[in-house]
Amino acid sequence: MFLNIDEKLMYTIAFLSQKGGAGKTTLATCVARQLQLEGEDVILVDSDPQGSARDWRAASEKDSVVVVGVDRPTLDKDIKTLSNNGKRWVVVDGAPRSEQMTVSTIKAADIVLIPVQPSPYDVWAAEDLVSIIRARQEVTDGKPKAAFLISRAIKRTELSKEVVGALEDFELPVFVSKTTQLVTYPKSASIGSTPMDTEPDGNAAKEIRAIVAELRQMLQQK
């Protein structure tokens, strides 16, 4: 059984995909920062040995999100040491390619979001990841919850039949909110920032706020 959202002290949200370039680091940094802007205590765990989230933090202002690097497959145990007495969110920027890291991250996560670019190839590439998540859900009565998150969509373009079909094959929910291809994401990341800080009224900031709102809804669903 899941603990009620108000009783649980730590929520772990992981962005995972085996593919590089899917948008994991962009989403993890932006979602972590948005949670912080909403008043939450949040830590960003960089599990990718490439250290992009750590590079992002190194370029950023003092009051941004704390980033810790945990790039060993003991992540599920290591994350427990990050708990404090109050409520805390842990956002994990996933490591591509390492199955051991993926398994350990799935063990730690309450929710796994799988960013996919709107191409059937990207969706099909999630097959192994979805199998690992399913295997875990079977032994835990459904934890972690998981969903696809469309990343880098071209604005005002409908998803093709092929993409919709590929997504349906997996029988996982698909977030209604998504990111579209916007230069604000890389531009803000290059100075260790986020769209909510550099262009709070822009479309990218709106997209991230919508994703965080949907994430909160998902956590509350039984």
Ligand X SMILES: Nc1ncnc2c1ncn2[C@@H]1O[C@H](COP(=O)(O)OP(=O)(O)O)[C@@H](O)[C@H]1O
Residue with Cβ nearer ligand X (23 or 144): 23
Q: Which of ligand X, Mg ion, none interacts with 179 (beta carbon under 5 to 8 A by kind)?
A: ligand X
Q: Which of ligand X, Mg ion, none interacts with 182 (beta carbon under 5 to 8 A by kind)?
A: ligand X
Whose tokens are 């669903």? That residue is 221
CB of 33 to ligand X, least distance (A): 14
- Asked whether position 52 contacts Mg ion by CB under 5 A, the answer is yes
- Asked whether position 186 contacts ligand X by CB under 6 A, the answer is yes
- Asked whether position 71 contacts Mg ion by CB under 5 A, the answer is no
Distance between CA 120 and CA 174 in Å, rounded? 14
Give which of 27, 74, 21, 26 is closest to 47, Cα–Cα.
74
Residue with Cβ nearer Mg ion (72 or 143): 72
- Asked whether position 152 contacts ligand X by CB under 6 A, the answer is yes
Contact 41, 88 (CB under 8 A): yes
Of the ranges 22-30, 31-39, 62-70, 103-111, which one interacts with ligand X (CB under 6 A)?
A: 22-30
Annotate 73-134 with three-state secondary structure.
Answer: CCHHHHHHCCCCCCCEEEEEECCCCCHHHHHHHHHHCCEEEEEECCCHHHHHCCHHHHHHHH
Query: Which residue among 12, 13, 24, 60 contacts ligand X (CB under 6 A)?
Result: 24
Give which of 122, 104, 102 is closest to 174, Cα–Cα.
122
Cβ-in-10-Å burial (0-12, 13-18, 19+) of 97 comes to exposed
- Asked whether position 119 contacts Mg ion by CB under 5 A, the answer is no
Residue with Cβ nearer ligand X (86 or 186): 186
Query: Within a 13 Å sphere around the CA of 58, how many CA atoms are in the beta-carbon half?
Result: 7
CB of 87 to Mg ion, least distance (A): 27
Residue with Cβ nearer ligand X (10 or 18): 18
Site for ligand X in 50-89 (CB under 6 A): 52
- Asked whether position 25 contacts ligand X by CB under 6 A, the answer is yes
CB of 72 to ligand X, least distance (A): 19
- Asked whether position 21 contacts ligand X by CB under 6 A, the answer is yes
Contact 49, 96 (CB under 8 A): no
Residue with Cβ nearer Mg ion (29 or 34): 29
Distance between CA 187 and CA 159 in Å, rounded? 26
For binding to Mg ion (CB under 5 A), which residues are involved? 24-25, 52
